[in-house]
A and B are shown apart, each in its own frame.
Chain A
Amino acid sequence: MRDSDRLNMEQSSFESTQEFYDQWINMYTATMGKLVEMPAVGPAREKSEKMMKGFSTFINLYAAGMDISSNLQEVFIEAMQKVQEKIGADMDGEISPEKYKEFYDIWIQTYSETFKDFAKSGHFVSDLGKLNAHLMDFQKYNREMLEENYLKPMNLPTKTEIGEINKELYTLKKTVKELTSQIKELKENK
């Protein structure tokens, strides 16, 4: 193992975790990731290809989750440091049961402000967008698998089919409304 590949244990435990995770994801992408993305062959080709896709969908969601957790962890550490500084300044460094309310006020205000600042950052906006998009992909994939492997074989209606009926219903209702309105206008102007 090269020195650069070694995990830096001098950092906080979360940073090491993040570093370990980054290395793991790189390794996964270069090896297993390629394997699951490989085109499937044989009679169950379509099904196995779809199932294999689930791995990448999950990995993407996991990666986005790790990114956001890692950033949040940094924000919490920053907030904690600010709280310590303020306690030093406002409470003479003393945290006693008698001063719990003062401590609480400092804690809630500092955490709230620090998190709000972070929430406005471009970094968080992008991370949140990614996490949300990958979560939707993952949930959609799970639903498709459920429909494909359980609902359809059991001859039960799927969300996709219900969606089609709803669309049809919507179009019909809209047409009825338009026609009713036209009839009303014609009647009124007779």
Chain B
Amino acid sequence: MNGLKFNEDYGKFKQGMELMMKPPEFSVGTTPSQIIYTEDKMKLIHYIPTVAKTHPVPILIVYALVNRYYILDLQPDKSVIKKLLEEGFDVHVIDWGYPSGSDRYLTLDDYVNGYLNNSVEKIKERCGLDKITLLGVCQGGTFSTMYAALHPENVQNLVTLLSPVNFDSDKGILNLWAKGLDVDKIVDYYGIVPGDFLNSAFLLLDPFRLMIDKYVGMFDRIECNPDDAACQLRNEEFIKNFLRMEKWIFDSPDQAGETFRQFMKDCYQKNLLIQNKMMLNGKKINLKNINMPVLNVMAEFDHLVPTDASIPLSDAISSTDKETLVFPTGHIGIFVGSKSQKEVCPKIAAWLRPRSLLNGKAEEKTESAKEEKPESAKEKMNEQRKTTRRARVNKK
């Protein structure tokens, strides 16, 4: 029996090695899209809708500066973005790009009040709306929270996905490690903090699982039946997905030094955001300014952003329409795990759907909005926007 098991495992290893020596071609982020705005290295991507009529309020997905946004569109059959498009949403995402030496002095304010704000304005202008939905992921959710607190007039709904706001948690190893770091020395030496530096920290969180067991597990998942074509296809697909994930994990952009400095010191070390003490360009971020509907989504087994880090958002804001969802999955599993397509995306979509109508309120308004010709609704919104802008300029 054990001898048979040994032979089977050897077969898996052999099969896996053969596949790896002739690796299947794979791609990531394949959902059709177009770039609608660029600024420095940042790109604003608009995904081509897959339904005839999308929900009126568009979504802007704000991903973290660490790693890349395409985890949300990693493989065609497990794509958060594709699923949202199928659910009828108009989806945009910010690609922060790869910062280089010239971005060393970019601040958190440049990201939140600069790139993010300009992207929101661009989408508003394109769609002829006053407000859009922000869906922030991980650190991008923290940025979105800051933005929603500073510009609540631009945000119809805020969805935070695995987003830390309370950094004083002893459940996350990263939170503990960050406290002991001399951030100034890191930034002063590197200028642009290398992505590999952060990656080594992530690997150190669980080196045996992440540097050994993951690869052993890869061979273990290989099905060993060389004569079965269907089995070969499954193996190939599995290897493709494994390689996609490998690509994503080690595709780590460097970090703009000043942004890294403020984020690490103000958030991870001093925990200022949740205390309403954090400042961006001299302006205090008051989370009580967040009054729009908020959906706070977490993963129960998240080793990077423990639920402790996200839960306090609900009590810190003044929104009355707020909901918290916790899924029994991990930080990555929530995007590509089996629950992602079946539970996570549908639940987010179900929460957003009634809140993504023009004026975003009651059903009856929806009906009247539906009756209104789309063009006239847009015109009305444009007019409202102009009036607001005029008022703002006059105030200045």
Q: Which chain A residues have a beta carbon within 8 Å of chain B's beta carbons?
A: 97-101, 104, 108, 111-112, 115-116, 119-120, 125-126, 128-130, 132-133, 136-137, 139-140, 143, 159, 162-163, 166-167, 169-171, 173-174, 177, 185-186, 188-189
Instruction: From the candidates A98, A119, A120, A159, name the one contacting B204 in the complex (CB within 8 A).
Output: A119
Task: List the A side residues contacting B213 at CB < 8 Å.
Answer: 108, 112
A129 — nearest CB in chain B belongs to which residue?
Answer: B180
The answer to whether A125 and B179 touch across the interface, beta carbons within 8 angstroms, is yes
- Flag the segment in B181-189, B239-247, B287-295 that touches A: B181-189
Q: Across the interface, do A115 and B206 meet the contact criterion of CB distance under 8 Å?
A: yes
Can you list 6 A-B pairs, Cβ within 8 angstroms, ordered by A?
Answer: A99-B2, A120-B170, A132-B181, A133-B181, A140-B185, A174-B110
**Complex contact B2–A166 (CB within 8 A):** no
Contact partner, A119, options B6, B182, B185, B205, Cβ 8 Å: B205
In the bound complex, how far is the Cα of B393 from the Cα of A112, in angstroms? 59
The reply to whether A101 and B5 contact each other, CB–CB distance below 8 Å, is yes
List chain A residues, Cβ under 8 A from B36: none
Nearest chain B CB to A142's CB is how many angstroms away? 10
**Complex contact A189–B182 (CB within 8 A):** no
Cβ-closest 8 pairs across A and B: A129-B180, A98-B2, A136-B185, A170-B105, A133-B182, A112-B208, A125-B180, A136-B189
Q: Are A189 and B6 in contact (CB under 8 A)?
A: no
Q: Mark B196-209, 1 if CB is under 8 A from A, else 0.
A: 00000000111111
How far does the alpha carbon of A54 sit from the alpha carbon of B19 in the complex, in Å? 50
Number of A-B contacts (CB under 8 A): 95
Residues in B neighbouring A132, C-beta threshold 8 A: 181-182, 185-186
The answer to whether A112 touches B206, judged by C-beta atoms less than 8 angstroms apart, is: yes
Residue interface bits B162-186, CB-to-A below 8 A is 1, else 0: 0000000010010011011110011
Q: Are A140 and B173 in contact (CB under 8 A)?
A: no
Partner of A98, one of B6, B182, B206, B207: B6
Is A129 a contact of B102 with CB atoms below 8 Å? no
A97: nearest chain-B partner, CB-CB: B6
Which chain B positions have C-beta within 8 A of A126? 180
Is B234 an interface position by the 8 A CB rule? no
B3:A98 contact, CB within 8 angstroms: yes
Cα–Cα distance between A112 and B211 once the two chains are bound (Å): 11
- Give A9 Cβ to nearest chain B Cβ, in Å: 32
Distance in Å: Cβ of B387 to nearest Cβ of chain A: 11
A186 contact set on B, CB distance < 8 A: 393
- How close is B166's CB to chain A, nearest CB, in angstroms? 18
- Residues of chain B in range 199-235 having any CB-CB distance to chain A below 8 Å: 204-209, 212-213, 216
Hey, which chain B residues are within 8 Å of A100, CB to CB? 6
Task: Please report the C-alpha to C-alpha distance between residue A132 and residue B177 in the assembled complex, in whole angstroms.
Answer: 11
A133 vs B181: C-alpha distance when bound (angstroms): 7
Task: From A97, A108, A129, give the contact of B181 (CB < 8 A).
Answer: A129
